[in-house]
Amino acid sequence: MFNPSIQPFMKSRKLFLILVFIVITNLFAKADEGMWLPMLISKYNTDAMQKMGLKLTSEQIYSINQACIKDAIVALDHGGCTGSIISQKGLLITNHHCGYEAIAEQSSVGSDFLTDGFWAMRPEEELPIPGKTVSFLIRMEDVTAKVLANVTAEMDEGERDLAIQKESDKIIEETESESGLEVSVESMFEGNEFYIFVYETFTDVRMVGAPPSSIGKFGGDTDNWMWPRHTGDFCLLRVYSGIDGKPAAFSKDNLPYQPKYFLPVSVAGVKQGDFSMILGYPGATDRYLTSYGIEEKLTQSNPADIKAKWAKMEVMKKYMDADDATRISYAGDYAYLGNFWKKSLQESKALQRLKVFNDKRKIEDGFQAWADQDENRKTLYGGVIGDFKTVYQSAAESRANEAISYTSELLMGARILYIAFQTGELTSRFDSSDFKEMVDISKKRAAKFYKTFNPELEKELLEKMLELLAKNVAPQYIPDCYTTINKKFKGDIGKYVDAMFEHSVFASEAKLMEYLDHPKKKTLEKDPAVVAANSFIGSYMIGRLSQMTDEDKFLKARRLYLAGLREMNPETVFYPDANSTMRLTYGSVKPYKPADALFADYHTTLQGVMEKEDPTNPEFIVSPKLKELFEKKDFGPYSKNGIMDVCFLTTQDITGGNSGSPVINGNGELIGLAFDGNSEAMSSDIKYDVNLQRTICVDIRYVLFVVDKYAGAGYLVDELNVVD
C-alpha cells in the first residue's frame, strides 16, 4: 500500500536524480570535445564531422585496406611529438620546438642554427639526427575480450594485472611473429578496454630546414601558452628507408622514403567557421580526475613542480646569458623546463578560475546518488568515492608526492647525478660476461654527455636544488646524503658540492674516461656522486612505497569509476584519456572571449610581428630580411589582399604530444600545424571548456612564405602538392 508520508520525499528524490543526470550529461557532452580513436570515427563521429564541413569518408581518414590520411601521420620519438608526411620523397613537417633539441645538437658557436636557421639546399646537405625515430601506425584493433579472458571479479588488482600482462604479452608475441613490426597493447578507460597498436618505425631521419629562432621561437617564454601568437613554429625533416623501402639504419645508400600517402597542402587560407580536424599523438590527459585529485594538484604537485623547475631555470639562464656555447648546449633543457613550468603555473590558475573542483564534485555526488539507488550498483560502486577520499587524504598526510617531485627533478636535472646514476649500474656488473660491453656503452654515453656540460653551472644548480629540497620535503624523505652534509660539512651545502666535484670521477669527461679505462668496483661504490645519486633514489623509493600502500585501492577505484560513469550515462559516447596513441579531434576555426570586455580574433598577421619587435629582448628580435619582405609586401602567392597571416585558432581538443600535428581542412588538405594551447584554458588536460579552449596553429601559408621567400628554398615547395 502506498504510504503518503513518503510521497514528498520520493518526488524530491526523483527530481534530484533527474537534475543529476542533466548535470552529468552536460559536463561530459560538449561540442568539439574529445580525442577519438580513429578506427571508431565511422561509428561515432563521421556524421557530425560531415555536417560541420568534412567532405571525406571515414575510410579516407582511417583504413587498413587502402592508403589514407592516417598513413601520413607519424609519431616522433614514439610519441614525444607528431609530424606529417607532405611529399612523395618522405618530407616531414613538425614544430620547430619538436626539432629544437636536434637543431641545438647540430649547432655550434660557428654554425649556430638556433640563431641563424638551417636549410639544406641539396639532398647531400641534409643532416642526420642520431636517435630520432619516426613511427607510422599500421593498424589498431580492440583486443579487450582476449586480454580480459582470464580476469575474474574475485581477483585483487595485483592478480588482475598479472592476468592482463600475461595475455597482453601473448598477443604481442603472436603479432610480432606475424608482422615483424613494433606492437603494443594499450589500456583504455583505466583498464576497462584494451587495444593493440602495430607500428613501423624508421630511424634514418635527417634535418632539412629550420627557420631561425627569431621566427620559429618568436615570443619565447613570454608568449608561450599565450594568444595572440606570431610564431612560425615549424621545421622540416626527411625520412629515409633502405632500398627495399623498409626501415634501415643510417646509410648514404638509403633513399628518401616513399610513403603510402602524403598530405596535399592548401594555400586557400582559413576563415572563421571553417571545419578542421587534427590527427596526432596526444600524450596524457586526466579528464576523469576527481575533485580530490584537483585538490592534490593545487596544493602539492603543481606548487612543487613550479618551484623546482623555476629554481633550475634561474641558474641556467644566468650562465646561458653569459656564454653562447652554454646557451646552445642548454637550450633544449631550458626550453623543456620553461614550457612545463608555465604549464603548471597556468594550469593551477585555470583550475581555480573555471571552478573545476566544483564541477568534479557535482559529478561525484551524482555518481554516489546513482550507485546508492540500486543494491547491486551499491555493492559494486558504492565505495568508490569514499576510496578516492581515503587515498588522497593518506597521500596528503604523508606528503609523498612532494618528495617524489623534488627528488626526481634533482636526479634528472643535476647532470652529475644523472650520469652517476646511469654509470653506477656497472657496480652490479663487474663479474658479468657483458661488463666490457657495458663499459664501452658508458664511454660512448660520456663522450656525448660532456659536450654539453658546464661545471660551474652544474655546481650552482645542484647547490640550489639541494637547498630547495631541504626546505620543502618532509623529514622522513630527506636523503641520507644530508647526514654527510650536516656532519662532515657542518651543514654547508656549497662545500659539499665543491667536494663532490673535486673528488668524483663524474666531474669531467677526462676523469670519467680515465676511470673507465681502469674501472674498480670500490672506486665507483664510494664515488660521492654515486653515493648522492643512490641516496636520492632511496628517498624517491620511500616516497613511492608510501604511495603504493593505497595503490591497489586507487587503481581499482579509477577502473570502477570509469565503468560506472559509462554505465550511468548509456547515451553518452565517452572517449578514453590520451596515452600517446593516435587520436582524431575535430572542430572549427573560431575566436574567443578570454575575459570580460576582451575579444581575441581567430588569426594573427605579420603586422603583429612588427608591432611586437623589441631589439633589446632576444625573444622579440625580428630579422632584417623579414622586415624587408614585410615592407615590400613581398609575400609571393601566400598572402591574401596583401596581408600575410601567421597563426590561427581552432576549437580542437589537444594536449602535449599533439605538437606538430597537422591541421586538416574538410577536403583533407594541410592548412596548418598545431603548436600550443591558450593560457585561459590550461586546465584542459582535466577539463575541456567549450568557451575558452583553443588550439593555436601556425598557418601553412606562413610556413611556405618562410621556406620560399625568406629562406630561398623554393625547391622544397616544388616537392609539395600545393592546391588552392
Q: Are strands 275-280 and 662-664 parallel, antiparallel or unpaired?
A: antiparallel
pLDDT score for 428: 84
From 396, 411, 403, select the one nearest 539 (Cα to Cα): 403
pLDDT score for 179: 77
Q: What gap in Å lies between CA 434 and CA 436, rounded to an integer? A: 6
pLDDT score for 12: 44
- Residue 508 falls in the annotated catalytic set: no
Report the C-alpha dihedral over residues 583, 54, 139, 206, rounded to 10 degrees. Answer: -70
Catalytic residue, candidates 58, 63, 84, 97: 97
Copy the grid coordinates of residue 420: 652517476
Q: In the predicted model, what is the mean pLDDT of residues 246-275? A: 97
Residues sharing a CB contact under 8 Å with residue 212, sequence separation 6 or more, in sequence order: 114, 115, 116, 117, 623
Q: In the predicted model, what is the mean pLDDT of residues 74-86? A: 97
pLDDT score for 25: 45
Per-residue pLDDT band at 21 (split at 50, 70, 90): very low
Per-residue pLDDT band at 9 (split at 50, 70, 90): very low
Q: What gap in Å lies between CA 381 and CA 559, rounded to an integer? A: 10
Q: What is the per-residue pLDDT across 399-411, written as a single tens digit (0 to 9) for each?
A: 988 889 899 888 8
Contact call for residues 442 and 425 (beta carbons, < 8 A): no
pLDDT score for 30: 54
Q: What gap in Å lies between CA 657 and CA 75, rounded to an integer? A: 9
CA distances from 10 to 4, 14, 382 (A): 10, 6, 21
Q: What gap in Å lies between CA 351 and CA 302, rounded to an integer? A: 11
Residue 78, pLDDT > 60, answer yes
> How many CB atoms are closer than 10 A to CB 483?
11
Catalytic residue, candidates 32, 221, 233, 274: 233
- Residue 233 falls in the annotated catalytic set: yes
Residues sharing a CB contact under 8 Å with residue 502, sequence separation 6 or more, in sequence order: none
Give the burial class of 397: count Cβ atoms within 10 A of its Cβ; 0-12 exposed, 13-18 middle, 19 or more buried: exposed
Catalytic residue, candidates 539, 659, 661, 683: 659
Q: In the predicted model, what is the mean pLDDT of residues 527-546? A: 90
pLDDT score for 31: 61
Domain boundaries, the chain: 42-265, 291-551, 583-723
Per-residue pLDDT band at 1 (split at 50, 70, 90): very low
> For the residues of 407-453, what is the DSSP string, one character each?
HHHHHHHSHHHHHHHHHGGGGGTTTSTTHHHHHHHHHHHHHHHGGG-
Per-residue pLDDT band at 130 (split at 50, 70, 90): very high
Q: What gap in Å lies between CA 109 and CA 125, rounded to an integer? A: 19
User: Which H or E run includes 512?
Assistant: helix 509-517
Max Cα-Cα span within the chain:
93
Task: Please provide the average confidence, as pLDDT, over all residues in the chain.
Answer: 93
pTM here?
A: 0.90
> Which stretches of 211-264 are assigned E, i.e. beta strand?
235-241, 255-256
Contact call for residues 42 and 58 (beta carbons, < 8 A): yes
Report the C-alpha dihedral over residues 652, 653, 657, 661, rounded to 10 degrees. Answer: -20
Q: What is the per-residue pLDDT across 573-585, written as a single tens digit (0 to 9) for each?
A: 999 999 999 999 9
pLDDT score for 11: 39
Q: In the predicted model, what is the mean pLDDT of residues 61-80? A: 97
- Residue 603 falls in the annotated catalytic set: no
**How many residues in total does the chain contain?**
724
Q: What gap in Å lies between CA 716 and CA 705, rounded to an integer? A: 12
Q: What gap in Å lies between CA 333 and CA 51, rounded to an integer? A: 44
Copy the grid coordinates of residue 706: 618562410
Q: What gap in Å lies between CA 70 and CA 66, rounded to an integer? A: 10
Q: What gap in Å lies between CA 8 and CA 627, rounded to an integer? A: 74
Residue 18, pLDDT > 80, answer no
